[in-house]
């Protein structure tokens, strides 16, 4: 996966998009940052923290991606590298910040099992 693309897309994410990257080696989709937040709220993906990218990661099966797509208003396929799913309503900053605080507290209890290479 292209780390620069992940940084760029999540850095410019206005809270209305969920970017999903397919990891060919692992056979899973991954959402980072704000995208991970929304994916975690809607699906039962596995939640981790990437030390390389310094942001949360939600790992999704193909079935979870299909469930996520059902909750989106607009679905766009940008390239073979990632999908961009769009929502009508913006993901709120307060909810994201609270989720991050909870995530950090939860992961700090068991960091060795929550880190994944990207």
Q: List pLDDT tens digits, range 36-86.
A: 999 988 888 888 888 888 899 999 998 898 888 887 876 776 666 788 898
- Distance CA(96)–CA(104), nearest Å, equals 12
- Give the mean model confidence (pLDDT) for residues 7-25: 90
Residue 118 falls within a domain, yes or no?
no
pTM of the complete model beyond 0.85: no
Q: Is the pLDDT of residue 113 over 70?
A: no
Query: What confidence tier does 117 reach under pLDDT thresholds 50, 70, 90?
Result: very low
Domain with 106, as residue range(s), is: 3-110
Residue 115 falls within a domain, yes or no?
no
Residue 22 falls within a domain, yes or no?
yes
* pLDDT value of residue 79: 66
Residue 116 falls within a domain, yes or no?
no
Residue 74 falls within a domain, yes or no?
yes
Q: Is the pLDDT of residue 31 over 50?
A: yes
* pLDDT value of residue 118: 43
Q: How many domains does the chain have?
A: 1
Q: Is the pLDDT of residue 114 over 60?
A: no
Residue 71 falls within a domain, yes or no?
yes
């Amino acid at each position: 996966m292209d780390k620069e693309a992940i940084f760029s897309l999540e850095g410019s994410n206005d809270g209305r998009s969920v970017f999903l990257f397919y990891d060919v080696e692992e056979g899973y989709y991954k959402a980072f940052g704000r995208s991970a937040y929304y994916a975690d709220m809607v699906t039962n993906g596995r939640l981790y923290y990437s030390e390389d990218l310094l942001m949360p990661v939600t790992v999704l099966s193909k079935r979870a991606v299909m469930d996520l797509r059902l909750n989106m208003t607009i679905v766009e396929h940008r390239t073979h590298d990632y999908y961009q799913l769009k929502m009508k309503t913006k993901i709120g900053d307060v909810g994201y910040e609270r989720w991050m605080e909870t995530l950090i507290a939860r992961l700090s209890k068991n960091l060795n099992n929550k880190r994944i290479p990207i």
